[in-house]
Each structure stands twice: as C-alpha cells, then as structure tokens.
C-alpha cells in the first residue's frame, strides 16, 4: 500500500526549510531557496506518491501554494495566530523546529482528525481584486490621518480663528490662507502646513481616481449582479459592497450564519470551563478587519437612514449600551448582505 509523505515547510522570503517523511517514520529536513530552483529541488527530492504539505500564512503570500500545487503536491496553508504554542516554544524557535512542528500537526490532522486552522486560499482573480479595493480603503484612512495631523498643528500653534473643522471647501481655503505671508504663523510652520495640505490634496485626487477604478471593477461580470443587489440595502455603497465581496471571496464557502459570524470576528469570545457554563467575552475580532470597518460605517448609516433599524438599535442600546448595540447591527448587516449576495448568484427564473 502506498503511503503519504507529509511535509512541514517554514517559508521565508528567501528560503524554505522543509521537514518530510511518512506518518510513522523519523522525518528528514532540508533547506532550499524560495525560488523555482528551490521548489524543483524539493520536488526532485520527494518524487513519491501523495505528497501533502503545510505552511503558515505570511507576508510571502500564496506563491509557494501556487507553485507546489502546480507541481502535484497537496498543500494547505494555516493561520499562525490560531496555532497554540507554549511559552517554551515561543522562546526556543528555529526554522527546523517550526517545520517539524508543522509536519507533526499535519500528520495528526490527516491521520487522527486533530484540529488544524486551515485558511481558505483565494483564487488569483480574488487576490488581484482585493489589492485595488484595499488600496482605496487605505487612501481613506490616510486622508483621515492627514486631517488629524493638520488639526494637531493648528492646536499646537494656537490657531482657533477658522471655525469648526467641517473640511468644506471654505474651511480648506482658510487653511491655505494661513500659508501666506499675512499669516501670523512663523515661516517654518507655514511651510509645514503647506506641505500637509498638498499631501491631503494628493490623497483626495488619488481617492477620486481609484473610486472610478473600483466602480469599473464592480461593473464587471463577476461582481455586477452581487454589487447591484447589495447596493439596494440602505447605507451600503459600492465601496462597502466590493469590500464585503472581495474579502469574503466566495460567499458560498460558508455553510451557515454562525460560520460567517465567526469569520467576520463579530461573535463573542467564550470563556467556559468547569462550573462556568455561560461566560462570554468581547467579540473575537478574528478575520479581516476591513470588513468590520465598512460594516461599522454602514451600520451607523442604517441607524440614521432606516427608521426600523434605528428603533431596533435604540431598544438594544437602552439595555446593553450603544457599543454592543452597534456590534449587533454590524453582525445582522453582515449576515443580511451574505444572504443577498448568495441570492444574486442564482439564475433568474
């Protein structure tokens, strides 16, 4: 009977340390470069039937997954934050030990059904779509940071004569006027403020340009029907819809609302042991924070725009406080959008 070869890989930008062997054999190790030459060396060394490999998700992305699956390996990627590690393991760490530990966890998972936090590997087009949408979200965050820096500068230098920071055109014009020769600000401060305002204008211009790019992406066949359906929900615009869709990737991979809530990180953590059987904590905050950010913004918009949602929020806030109430609205909205996205995929009757 042919046996599976299990491989644990500690992947870095320039190297891969691999520990490999059959389930009940003493594993061997080898180190290769993280490039085509190194990948081929691993494949040549393990020309056996049924290679199953594992490595941790990292900033290296899914290149190793793509390349090794293309070479015939079965590869899974795991979430490092969900792998329990002892204090000793954290302080006594080497690439070889990490590879051996990953291999042993894969063996336990395949041979005995032990839990392994395997992450979903998105197809290439989802990864590419994410880059554009994430960049647009990033620009929004950078604009907020730039505005905060400008307001801090004004406060430090005792500028209180320009009114509230509504960031209207008139307000920005007043800021520019502080950069002129008639301003009471010192020349170095004026130059700093001018630079900050130019940075803000650049970010705004880039945001407008990328907003058009995101709109064009939303109009493509693979997104059009779902985005159109999600935008029918009050408080949900194109950017929110696209963020929700690209971060989820494949909405059908969730079997029920509980799985979705866990992925969104909007379910309460659990601290139950012994006699304590009903001890819930803060939300887990697992999964992509970008979805929680846009769900938070959309949930507050719905509270303002939808009377029914506002009534539901007010009743819950009176019992639990506004913070818990808005989290509940975020979870409800996420589940509702998920159902709408799945419905949009069904062919018209």
The pairing of beta strand 51-56 with beta strand 74-78: parallel
Do 200 and 283 belong together in one domain? no
Do 206 and 256 belong together in one domain? no
Domain residues for the domain of 138 are 124-218
Does some domain include residue 117?
Answer: no
Scanning the structure block, which residue is given the tokens 């060394």?
45
Do 229 and 197 belong together in one domain? no
Do 14 and 89 belong together in one domain? yes
Which of 82, 112, 142 terminates a domain? The answer is: 112
Do 213 and 268 belong together in one domain? no
Do 170 and 262 belong together in one domain? no
Q: What is the pLDDT of residue 285?
A: 79
Q: What is the pLDDT of residue 183?
A: 84
Do 104 and 114 contact (CB within 8 A), yes or no?
no
Does some domain include residue 77?
Answer: yes
List average pLDDT for each run of 10 residues in the chain, which is 349 residues long. Answer: 86 96 92 96 87 94 96 95 80 90 96 94 96 97 95 90 78 91 89 96 97 97 96 95 96 93 83 54 80 95 94 94 93 96 84
H or E element, residue 21: strand 15-22
Does some domain include residue 118?
Answer: no
Which of 112, 133, 166 terminates a domain? The answer is: 112
Q: What is the pLDDT of residue 1?
A: 43
Does some domain include residue 75?
Answer: yes
Q: What is the pLDDT of residue 273?
A: 54
Q: How many CB atoms lie within 10 A of CB 88?
A: 8
Structure tokens at 176: 């520019």
CATH number for the domain harbouring residue 34: 3.30.420.40
Do 144 and 91 belong together in one domain? no
Q: What is the pLDDT of residue 115?
A: 94
Does some domain include residue 338?
Answer: yes
Q: What is the pLDDT of residue 163?
A: 66
Q: In whole angstroms, how far apart are CA 173 and each of 162, 170, 176, 177, 191?
A: 10, 5, 5, 6, 16
H or E element, residue 307: helix 307-320
Which of 55, 90, 112 terminates a domain? The answer is: 112
Do 135 and 241 belong together in one domain? no
Do 161 and 77 belong together in one domain? no
The total number of structural domains that make up the chain: 3
Q: What is the pLDDT of residue 182?
A: 83
Do 210 and 239 belong together in one domain? no
Do 211 and 205 contact (CB within 8 A), yes or no?
no
Do 139 and 65 belong together in one domain? no
Do 272 and 320 belong together in one domain? yes
Structure tokens at 254: 């969730």
């Amino acid at each position: 009977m042919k046996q599976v070869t299990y491989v644990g890989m500690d992947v870095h930008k320039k190297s891969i340390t691999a520990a490999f062997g059959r389930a009940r054999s003493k594993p061997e190790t080898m180190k290769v470069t993280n490039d085509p030459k190194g990948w081929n060396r691993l494949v040549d060394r393990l020309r056996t039937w049924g290679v199953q490999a594992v490595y941790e998700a990292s900033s290296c992305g899914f290149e190793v997954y793509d390349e090794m699956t293309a070479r015939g390996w079965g590869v899974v990627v795991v979430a490092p934050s969900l792998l329990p590690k002892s204090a000793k393991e954290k302080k006594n760490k080497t690439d070889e030990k990490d590879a051996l530990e990953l291999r042993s966890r894969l063996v336990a998972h395949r041979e005995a059904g032990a839990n392994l936090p395997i992450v979903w590997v998105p197809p290439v087009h989802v990864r590419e779509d994410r880059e554009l949408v994430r960049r647009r979200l990033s620009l929004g965050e950078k604009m907020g940071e730039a505005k905060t820096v400008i307001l801090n500068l004004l406060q430090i230098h005792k500028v209180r004569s320009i009114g509230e920071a509504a960031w209207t055109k008139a307000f920005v014009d007043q800021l520019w006027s502080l950069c002129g020769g008639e301003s009471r600000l010192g020349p170095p401060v004026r130059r700093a403020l001018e630079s900050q305002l130019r940075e803000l204008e650049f970010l705004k211009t880039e945001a407008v340009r990328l907003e058009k790019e995101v709109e064009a992406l939303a109009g493509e066949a693979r997104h059009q029907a779902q985005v159109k359906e999600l935008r029918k929900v009050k408080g949900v615009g194109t950017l929110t819809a696209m963020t929700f869709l690209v971060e989820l990737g494949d909405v059908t991979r969730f079997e029920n609302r509980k799985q979705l809530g866990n992925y969104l990180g909007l379910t309460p953590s659990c601290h139950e042991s012994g006699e304590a059987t009903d001890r819930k904590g803060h939300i887990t905050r697992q999964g992509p924070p970008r979805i929680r950010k846009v769900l938070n913004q959309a949930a507050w918009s719905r509270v303002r725009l939808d009377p029914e949602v506002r009534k539901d929020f007010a009743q819950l806030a009176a019992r639990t406080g506004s913070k818990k109430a808005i989290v509940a609205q975020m979870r409800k909205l996420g589940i509702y959008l998920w159902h709408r996205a799945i419905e949009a995929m069904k062919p018209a009757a």
